Amino acid sequence: MNGAQHILEAFHRHDISTVFGYPGGCIMPLYDALVDDVDVEHVLCRHEQGCALAADGYARASGKLGVCIATSGPGATNLITGVANAHRDSIPMLVITGQVPSGLIGTDAFQETDVLGMTLGIVKHSYLIDDADTLPVIMEEAMELAQSGRPGPVWIDIPKDLLLAEVAAAPLPAPEPRENTCPNLTQALAMLRTARKPLLYSGGGVSLAKAEAPFRIFAESSALPAVVTLKGIGNPGKHNPYNLGMLGMHGSRAANRAVDECDLLLVIGARLDDRATGKLDGFAPNAKMIHIDADAAEINKLRPADLSIRGDLNDILAALTDALENTPLAIGDWQKQCRTWYTTGGFQAADNEEPLAPITGPAFIRQLSRIAPDDTVIACDVGQHQMWVAQHYEFDHPRHHLTSGGLGTMGFGLPAAIGAQFADRNSTVINVTGDGSFMMNAQELATIRRYNLPVKLIVMDNQCLGMVRQQQELFYNNRESQINLDDNPDFVAMARAFDIPALYIERTDQIRRGIETILAFNGPMLLHVAISREENVWPIVKPGASNREMIDETRRTSTANKEQVA
């Protein structure tokens, strides 16, 4: 077998049946080997960025390894945004690129780029193969590395001649046994029992550790008031009475208030990102903090923990649940207080009763949340619509909410939805996007059509870059700069050009019929939703300010809101 065939052998060993890629000169030996392979489905996207983001969406929705493939030079550089996206959100991904033949590396050969050098900052690890015989072992190591500990993308760059070279047979290393020792939780339990106002703060680490079930059990049995980060949405479940929703820059008043007043913060699988904490000096000022995470480098990175615990969240959460089972926490007053805050400061948005009124983002998302099946996967893009989904869609599982949290990649949603649909051909997958984000990877409509994926597309169109416009209005004296998109193409006609049917709505009384129509349609369909250009996401915390200084619509015109960002 040659190097290319060994790559496919590694896919077979690890049950990798779906990969996303785009061929080209230096990766052609692998594409030649794919011709004879019936066990690996290769999904041809229309841009390498689409390949990487689809692999990312596949991994997020399934919990499996996402795989993307491209050629050297522009193929590799086009992958970079998608790989950076996976890196920032710790998504398990294997990236394989062809490189110019070994003897031509460093000669400025056609389609040569220093892939290893230019990707160092966006991978968990990377390899440049210099000996074909090392390829099988490196494939094993790379797949293990991408999925273990804190997951992330691992990139293997392979010169074309080594893809063609015969590889000597050699035994593969045995997988290392998993350490199964739960850390000592005595001190954590003592702190929980002493606290009068403990708060559960969870993030994307819960689903990265595949600890969704033990987390849910712990959250329900402990009855701790809970806040979530953007990537933690869905962790507590939609029916948990103590779920206060997302905290942070666009978080609920209830969540930020609870963080402000709690006396113990139990942080699980979260990295205290600036969008969540706001100005660190003012974050949870009265609280001690227990930080539980798989990554030691996150402990004490931004805020010192009073107690840090590193380990597998599955073991830790199960042990915490057991320890609290017979003697529940006595926090009735605090629970009641948090419920009161949620009633008055949650993400409530009244439905507009006026049928001819223009559609508002929050009202549309709330209707979508009520109508779509419980196990619907929503793949968001980035901007105002992303925050309206985070605020108003009620998710029951973190893997149902695919969002670009760390990198904030416009253009993520459509290819991510493609990946999610390949992860489960029978699930309902909806890409909720904005008019700016949609145009970033609209070429992937062709991928949806080619594979007849029943992905639903909802384009919330305000004819501008709404989140940038909002911050220019609030923090830059309303000086609009390069945000106008009122020359967008006709999205309905555009979808139809890809042979995807589409529908346009603009009034409140059209929302229900629009959503029901696309969900009932047996195949892909696009819903073009016109919304107001002037609408903002509320509340908002000015970047760099404390979460206490939330701005809501009633304070929109005050002078204090219009200070320029320093």
Partner 1 sequence: MTPQTDSPMPSYTLNCRMSREAAALERLCQVVRIRGFRIATMAVESAGDHLDIALTLEGTRPITMLQSQLEKLHTVAEVALGQGSSVRVQSA
Look up residue 276 and give its amino acid.
A
Binding partner 1 (rule: CB under 8 A), the pick from 46, 64, 125, 533 is 125
Q: Does 124 bind partner 1 (CB under 8 A)?
A: yes
Q: Where are the beta strands (DSSP E) in 231-383?
A: 243-246, 264-268, 288-293, 307-310, 377-380
**Least distance in angstroms from the C-beta of 154 to partner 1:** 9
**Least distance in angstroms from the C-beta of 49 to partner 1:** 23
Binding partner 1 (rule: CB under 8 A), the pick from 13, 103, 120, 280 is 120
Q: Does 518 bind partner 1 (CB under 8 A)?
A: no
How far is Cα 104 from Cα 72, in angstroms, rounded to an integer?
A: 12
Binding partner 1 (rule: CB under 8 A), the pick from 170, 213, 280, 296 is 296
Q: Does 130 bind partner 1 (CB under 8 A)?
A: yes
State which residue, 88 or 397, has the beta carbon closest to partner 1.
Answer: 88
Q: Does 145 bind partner 1 (CB under 8 A)?
A: yes
State which residue, 116 or 265, has the beta carbon closest to partner 1.
Answer: 116
- The number of beta carbons lying within 10 Å of the beta carbon of residue 526 is 26
Q: Does 209 bind partner 1 (CB under 8 A)?
A: no
Q: Is 342 exposed, middle or buried (0-12, 13-18, 19+ CB in 10 A)?
A: buried
H/E stretch holding 551:
strand 550-551
State which residue, 213 or 280, has the beta carbon closest to partner 1.
Answer: 280
Alpha helices in 288-444 (DSSP H): 313-324, 332-345, 361-371, 384-392, 413-423, 435-438
State which residue, 152 or 245, has the beta carbon closest to partner 1.
Answer: 152
Q: Does 164 bind partner 1 (CB under 8 A)?
A: no
Q: Does 87 bind partner 1 (CB under 8 A)?
A: no
Task: Count interface residues toward partner 1 (CB under 8 A).
Answer: 17
How far is Cα 160 from Cα 176, in angstroms, rounded to an integer?
A: 31
The interface region with partner 1, picked from 120-128, 410-418, 446-454, 459-467 by CB under 8 A, is: 120-128
How far is Cα 38 from Cα 95, in angstroms, rounded to an integer?
A: 21
Q: Where are the beta strands (DSSP E) in 176-322?
A: 198-202, 226-228, 243-246, 264-268, 288-293, 307-310
**Least distance in angstroms from the C-beta of 122 to partner 1:** 10
**Least distance in angstroms from the C-beta of 124 to partner 1:** 7
Q: Does 175 bind partner 1 (CB under 8 A)?
A: no
Query: Phi, psi at residue 288, to the nearest 5°?
Result: -80, 160
How far is Cα 125 from Cα 141, in angstroms, rounded to an integer?
A: 10
Q: Determine the 3-state secondary structure of 127 from DSSP.
A: strand
Q: Does 301 bind partner 1 (CB under 8 A)?
A: yes
Q: In the Cβ-directed half-sphere of 36, how many Cα atoms lie within 13 Å?
A: 9
Q: Does 107 bind partner 1 (CB under 8 A)?
A: no
User: So which residues are the catalytic ones?
Assistant: 48, 110-111, 160, 467
Q: Does 297 bind partner 1 (CB under 8 A)?
A: yes
Q: Which residues bind partner 1 (CB under 8 A)?
A: 116-117, 120-121, 124-128, 130, 145, 295-297, 299-301
